[in-house]
Amino acid sequence: MYEHDVLIIGGGLAGLRAAVEVTRAGADVAVISKVHPVRSHSNAAQGGINAPLTDRGEDWKGHAFDTIKGSDFLADQDAVEVMSSEAGEAVLELERMGVIFSRDENGKLGTRAFGGQKEARTYFVGAITGSAILHVLFEQSLKLGLNVYEEWFVTKLIIEDGACRGVVSIDLKTGEMHTIKAKAVIIAAGGAGRVFEPSTNALICTGDGLSLAYRAGVPLMDMEMIQYHPTTLARTGILMSEAARGEGGYLLNSSGERFMQKVAPEYMELASRDVVSRAEQTEIDEGRGVDGNVLLDLRHLGREYIEAKLGYLQEVSVEFLGIDMAEQPVPVQPGMHYIMGGIKTNIDGETVVPGLYAAGECANVSVHGANRLGANSLLDTVVFGRRSGAHAVEYIKTVGDHSKSEEDIKSEKARIQALLDRPKGERVATVRNDMARGMTKGIGVFRDQASMEGALENLVNVKSRMDGFSVENKGKVFNTDLMFALELEFMVDCAEAVVAGALTRKESRGAHYRTDITERDDENWLKHTLMYKDETAENGVRVETSDVTITQWEPIKRVY
Amino acid sequence: MTDATANTMKVKLKIKRFDPAESGGKTWWQDYEVDVHPDSTVLDSLIEVREQNDGTLALRCACRASICGSCGMKVNGSAKLVCKTRVVDVAPNGEQLTIEPMGNQHVVRDLVVSLDTFFSQINRVEPYLQPSFVPESGEYTASNESMENLLTGMNCIMCGCCVSDCTVLEVDANFIGPAALAKAWRFTEDPRDSKRDERLKNLNDEDGGMWDCTRCMKCVEVCPKGVAPMDRIMELREAAIEAGNTNTSGYHHTESFYNSVKKHGRLDETRLAIDSAGWTNIPRLLDLAPIGIAAMRKGKLPPVFPHKAEDNKKVKDLYERVEDAD
């Protein structure tokens, strides 16, 4: 049995930023992650991180309003105020840690434009911003001598007397199971993109953190809010950063028309992501696409500019499709990218379970509401990662010693042994693919009652097969086969909450666009959906709603 | 990937397996054949094996977009990030692909290697910014060019391909390695870092430091992100010499090489060996003696008094022109 004051699940930006905060406060902290920290999916964020630099006199309220408008007024405005007002310091702190942000001619931080925002306030490192920040936070973790349980997979949260007191986990390298006791646990385990297929998300984004909290009684909020990114590379589904459009790229249909003119004459290609993805899907559905794609055209930017500012995009375009972006437009399509929904927390990362926190993509504070602005996800991770860490440090002072209970590891060992002992059945991948394709089909860029019921029907079928798949690898060392089975169970929980939220919300708002109810309905639906795991409820989910917090921006019509 | 109607292609794989559960571990080769989309990468093929043929096959992968650095392994004997390696490029005629775990690192299972070697090397270079002051408010002032210059180093995703194929690490586990040296370069070149001279001196003096690279180019060849670690190592050496670190056999070697070619128009190998060791470094010279004797026996000992190259005048001219240009 291992013991710490604070245990953080996940070694991406939110997790490492939380860990830095707890370490600075002198508490005993460890990070546990199923992958080495530098393999985390924070890597994949390309375009940048938003921040109004208040020390330069920029008004954070402009960023807050753009974020709230982007969220289609579903974000909680008190949370957005916290994020926007702390953003400047959060970004400057990253710079001072060593992030090599792009500069202006005076040697100060320089910006690029990003979607859904009036001002250019996105700070960046080429098209590898997430990777550049993650590696610097990892450097800091080495400097601080942070304790990391690398390639340990959490299977269950330990809840004692109603509070979270640690985790049960598998050390993948040995296959041994261990209890790690903690006075507070911060879930920073990333999103759930693999619930959909295709998705821009890494194969590791399986909603583990969301499910762990959900099973512990924490509601998942606004899970129907799934972001489809407007520019994912044809065939491969690889993300092509919004920076391509921020730097001036065009979106064209088959007749070479900049079709965004029709839906967002002012913002054009830099309208909010949900708006651009719908416009693209409309072009494709109405026969003005190019083999199921639209075209992202950077040619007018010139080779030198493309290679200096968007080098990674050029690299993947050439490597994966053999297209030189300086010579040819590249085919792109909307692709599942991010989940705005997540573990419900307050502005300090606290969930309804004492001692349990969440931050980053797995959490829903809520700052993204029904649609996240590009370059707000990195900001979310560092602001709320830090706040969760800071609050956890205070919380643990009120908590007594670790218990010696071994109950949870006993039951987890039995559960996992039973999984290994199953007779030969379906392959995990078969069940997973059926689930994920059904989710994309039913909960897509456009959805309606019938498509969502289709997703539910598919999911009910998938759930009925969850006792029938088997794990082929019975070995101990690096048994990823077993991990994939446990991940599938996590993903099905997330899928269940997504479908329940989608069927509940009887309006169109942000990413939740219903072709059968096309209007936003503030009177009835300026509300969050809250999904609770409840075996007694229909389909195992109880759905409640709660009011959105409005501070100073009354909902208005959303026009770009 | 999303097009179900497209044709498929057959991929033949020969994979080196390792199961540590057997006493002392068991290694064997296993053949697989899978059908995948014609655009598929080697990683797509391996995932197909894992998901549809053999769930016991262990490998790491995550992003599938060459940014997380998980899927380094050897393809046909050379380290690659398999998510960005298309099958048609390495097996254009459907040849069988040989897949092995990366080299110079301990194998945990199948294609999974221990990360300990790699990260203990990284840890040796104090891999974090060490500024002399922290601005009270705002950011450090630095030119955009100086930051963009560092991108070459920050592009490193720590996949380990360079470490895998490093020919020095193969014989000298104490070498700090190409990735860690490239990481160090990222700090010595950072105008915000205050430890440049100390870092250069340490990497210069340290056993296994910057002078142990033999310039074989392997790391440049296999790096999937254009970091070109060897080029970074050469820049470290130049910077170390410029900073006054001239006490190493590496520096003497460089200097002797330079002078010998300038003087004779060709390399005086005997002198190079002695200069590199240092004329007063008796133990090292004694180490060289058996090599010299063995070489003499085989008739391979270079002449003690070097011949001048016929056109050594031209070489001298070249030297003068380059030196003037500097």
pLDDT digits (tens, 9 = 90+) for A144-153: 999 999 999 9
Find the mean pLDDT for residues A22-48: 97
Residue B37 domain-assigned (yes or no)? yes
Domain of B257, in residue numbers: 250-325
Chain B touched by A174 (CB under 8 Å): no
The domains found in chain A, sorted by start residue, are 230-334 (3.90.700.10)
Chain B touched by A105 (CB under 8 Å): yes
Residue written as tokens 């499910």? A211
CB contact under 8 A, A140 and B128: yes
Query: What pLDDT does residue A513 have?
Result: 98
Find the mean pLDDT for residues B184-212: 97
CB contact under 8 A, B157 and A237: no
List chain A residues with CB under 8 Å of B127. Answer: 139, 142
Looking at the fold, whether B181 and B156 belong to one and the same domain comes out as yes
Find the mean pLDDT for residues A457-466: 98
Looking at the fold, whether B37 and B107 belong to one and the same domain comes out as yes
Please, which residues bridge with residue B179 across strands?
none
Instruction: Count contacts between A and B (CB, < 8 Å).
Output: 172
CB contact under 8 A, A476 and B151: no
Looking at the fold, whether B94 and B156 belong to one and the same domain comes out as no
Looking at the fold, whether B121 and B106 belong to one and the same domain comes out as no
List chain A residues with CB under 8 Å of B61. Answer: 203
A350: left (phi over 0), alpha (psi -120 to 50) or beta: beta
CB contact under 8 A, B142 and A198: no
CB contact under 8 A, B55 and A103: no
For residue B1, is pLDDT > 70?
Answer: no
Residue B30 domain-assigned (yes or no)? yes
Residue B24 domain-assigned (yes or no)? yes
For residue B280, is pLDDT > 90?
Answer: no
Higher per-residue pLDDT: A297 or B272: A297
ipTM beyond cut 0.85: yes
**Band (A247; pLDDT cuts 50, 70, 90):** very high
Looking at the fold, whether B13 and B99 belong to one and the same domain comes out as yes
Query: What pLDDT does residue B260 have?
Result: 87
CA distance A156 to chain B (A): 22
**Closest residue to A95, CB basis, from B110, B140, B156:** B140
- Over residues B212-252, the pLDDT tens digits come to 999 999 999 999 999 999 999 999 999 999 999 998 888 88
For residue B6, is pLDDT > 70?
Answer: no
CA distance B214 to chain A (A): 28
**Closest residue to A235, CB basis, from B2, B150, B154:** B2
Query: What pLDDT does residue B3 have?
Result: 46
CATH number for position B159: 1.10.1060.10
- Which residues 390-429 of chain A have a CB within 8 Å of chain B? 427-429
CA distance A422 to chain B (A): 15
User: Based on C-alpha coordinates, what's the Rg of chain A?
Assistant: 22
Chain B touched by A111 (CB under 8 Å): no
Looking at the fold, whether B238 and B282 belong to one and the same domain comes out as no
Residue written as tokens 């070097």? B306
CA distance A299 to chain B (A): 22
Find the mean pLDDT for residues B72-85: 97
- Over residues B104-122, the pLDDT tens digits come to 999 999 999 999 999 999 9
CB contact under 8 A, A43 and B67: yes
Chain B touched by A143 (CB under 8 Å): yes
How many whole angstroms separate alpha carbon A35 and alpha carbon A151? 5
Find the mean pLDDT for residues B66-70: 96
- Over residues A294-316, the pLDDT tens digits come to 999 999 999 999 998 898 899 88
Looking at the fold, whether B222 and B316 belong to one and the same domain comes out as no
CB contact under 8 A, B151 and A140: no
Query: What pLDDT does residue B4 have?
Result: 46
For residue A536, is pLDDT > 80?
Answer: yes
Residue A120: which of A81, A82, A63, A79 has the closest Cα? A63
List chain A residues with CB under 8 Å of B3. Answer: 235
Lowest mean pLDDT among A49-63, A247-261, A448-462: A49-63
How many structural domains is chain B composed of?
Answer: 3
List chain B residues with CB under 8 Å of A104. Answer: 144
**Closest residue to B62, CB basis, from A203, A237, A308:** A203
Residue B2 domain-assigned (yes or no)? no
Looking at the fold, whether B28 and B81 belong to one and the same domain comes out as yes
Find the mean pLDDT for residues A105-118: 93
> Of B201, B221, B242, which residue sits at a domain end?
B242
Residue written as tokens 């028309």? A257
Alpha-carbon torsion angle A173, B229, B81, B9, nearest 10: -160
Please say whether the beta carbons of A279 and A263 come within 8 A: yes
CB contact under 8 A, A103 and B143: yes
Looking at the fold, whether B39 and B84 belong to one and the same domain comes out as yes
Q: How many residues does chain B have?
A: 326
CB contact under 8 A, A41 and B62: yes
CB contact under 8 A, B138 and A36: no
Chain B touched by A155 (CB under 8 Å): no
**Closest residue to A102, CB basis, from B2, B67, B144:** B144
CB atoms within 10 A of CB B5: 4
For residue A9, is pLDDT > 70?
Answer: yes
> Of B242, B269, B301, which residue sits at a domain end?
B242
**Band (B265; pLDDT cuts 50, 70, 90):** confident
Query: What pLDDT does residue B283 have?
Result: 84
Please say whether the beta carbons of B131 and B192 come within 8 A: yes
Tell me how far CA of residue B9 lies from CA of A506, B80, B93, B95, B132, in angstroms: 45, 21, 11, 12, 57
3-class SS of residue A106 = coil
For residue B23, is pLDDT > 80?
Answer: no
Find the mean pLDDT for residues B257-277: 85
For residue B2, is pLDDT > 70?
Answer: no
Residue B44 domain-assigned (yes or no)? yes
Find the mean pLDDT for residues A406-419: 97
Residue B130 domain-assigned (yes or no)? yes
Lowest mean pLDDT among A261-265, B133-137, B269-273: B269-273
Looking at the fold, whether B296 and B206 belong to one and the same domain comes out as no
**Closest residue to A100, CB basis, from B84, B122, B147:** B147
For residue B5, is pLDDT > 60?
Answer: no
CATH number for position B70: 3.10.20.30
Catalytic site residues of A? Answer: 273
Residue B4 domain-assigned (yes or no)? no
Closest-CA residue of B relative to A202 is B63
Percent of chain A with pLDDT over 90: 96
Lowest mean pLDDT among A400-409, A503-512, B180-189: A400-409
HSE (CB half, 13 Å, CA atoms) of B272? 18
DSSP A50-96: E---GGGT--HHHHHHHHHHHTTT-S-HHHHHHHHHHHHHHHHHHHH
Please say whether the beta carbons of A66 and A373 come within 8 A: yes
> Of B62, B77, B112, which residue sits at a domain end?
B112
Query: What pLDDT does residue A309 have?
Result: 87
Residue B140 domain-assigned (yes or no)? yes
Please say whether the beta carbons of A272 and A225 come within 8 A: no
Looking at the fold, whether B31 and B140 belong to one and the same domain comes out as no
Chain B touched by A475 (CB under 8 Å): yes
Query: What pLDDT does residue A106 have?
Result: 95
Exposure class string for A405-437: b at 16+ Cβ within 10 A, else e: eeebbeebeeebeebbeeeeeebbbebbebbbb
Find the mean pLDDT for residues B81-107: 97
HSE (CB half, 13 Å, CA atoms) of A356? 31
Looking at the fold, whether B221 and B319 belong to one and the same domain comes out as no
CB contact under 8 A, A40 and B129: no
**Closest residue to A131, CB basis, from B21, B67, B148:** B67
CB contact under 8 A, B141 and A202: no
Instruction: Write a three-state SS string for A463-523.
Output: HHCCCCECCCCCCCCCCHHHHHHHHHHHHHHHHHHHHHHHHHCCCCECCECECCCCCCCHH
